[in-house]
Amino acid sequence: MTIIDSIKTSMLVPIHPAGIPFIAIFAIFTLLIGWFWSPLYFFGLVLTLWCVYFFRNPVRVTPILSGINKNNLIISPADGRVIEISQITPEEDIGLPVGDWTRVCIFMNVFDVHVNRSPMSGKIFYKNYIPGSFFNASLDKASSKNERLILGMDTDKGKKIAFVQIAGLVARRIICDVDIGSSLKVGEVFGLIRFGSRVDVYFPSDVSVMVLKGQKMIAGETIIGDFTKSSKSVKDNLDEK
């Protein structure tokens, strides 16, 4: 694949509706600065193309939709890289029963797709927006200190999970398009975070973890957990690459 083909593949994809106003603003900005001094057209064009790139919403093929282990797989809700896999007792604001749960944290940099997708099929039973700080989302304290929006789901599998959109150092806006009572299909888009952030996923500790720390995730496609397999010790995954 040539460089031009790669650019076309990245750019010629659907755009999330939340990005359209920003793309328009960047385009108008480009015209204005270029009118004052023509060399600035290039600078504005680069910014506009980056904005289009940031809000891209590529088509994804979710494994469960292909009939593999229907309702048993947990799919990554975000593009990015796994920065932590741990077994914890969630804080009360996560909305899950007291006990041991596995948490997988996925960090999105400003070049990753920022559209978030449902990790399983089910109904939202819990929603909690918590204002907070804007520390670097790769830091552990971001899970409890940063602005975040928590969704709890009763899955079609009959189990509870939770997923948390967390704002980062640059991010200043969490967009969530669902509410309590909303039904989601696995891989379905439910929101977006601007510009650089993370998503944490909580699921039962006896569910097998299918990813490693440092692994690259693809939202709607990468399998991060499997209810049908015996649990693998989270400790074994912590320092693996």
Q: Is 197 a catalytic residue?
A: yes
- CA distance to 32, 115, 203, per residue, from 27 (Å): 9, 22, 42
Cβ neighbours of residue 167 closer than 8 Å, sequence gap 6 or more: 132, 134, 137, 146, 147, 148, 173, 174, 193, 197
The backbone torsions φ and ψ at residue 87, rounded to the nearest 5 degrees and listed phi first, read: -110, 115
Active-site annotation holder among 6, 144, 197, 231: 197
Task: Tell me the two tokens of residue 63.
Answer: 């494994």
Instruction: Judge residue 192's burial from the number of C-beta atoms within 10 Å of its C-beta, 0-12 exposed, 13-18 middle, 19 or more buried.
Output: buried
Pairwise CA distance, residues 162 & 126, whole Å:
9
Pairwise CA distance, residues 32 & 41, whole Å:
9
Pairwise CA distance, residues 147 & 230, whole Å:
35
Helix (H) or strand (E) holding 24: helix 20-36
* Catalytic residue set: 197
